[in-house]
Amino acid sequence: MSSSPTFLIVCNLPRVTIVGAGRVGSTLAQRVAEKNLADVVLLDIITGMPQGLALDLMEARGSVAVVACGGVSAR
């Protein structure tokens, strides 16, 4: 597993981990962030995909805390 950059913003909200940053995962992450239900942690096997989505979500909201981890394997 290669190391990838993570974006960490400390907040007082609970943390939700979403496995998979595809269409369903990205939609779920967006909805959770929009409603300020929790900080979002995105995991995906494809390196760069959750990081890109995290940047998009942070740009869209401005104050959303998103942690992205790419290249995660269940092995």
A 10 A CB-CB count for 36 gives 13
Q: From residue 51, how far is each of 10, 33 by CA, in Å?
A: 17, 15
Residue 75 has pLDDT above 80, yes or no: no
**What are 50's two structure tokens?**
């959750």
pLDDT tens string 15-65: 899 999 899 999 999 898 888 888 888 889 988 888 888 888 878 776 555
Hey, what domains does the chain have and what are their CATH numbers?
15-70 (3.40.50.720)
Q: Residue 36 carries which DSSP code? A: T
**How far apart (Å, rounded) are the C-alpha atoms in residues 60 and 54?**
10
| Pairing assessment for the beta strands 66-70 and 39-44 based on DSSP bridges | parallel
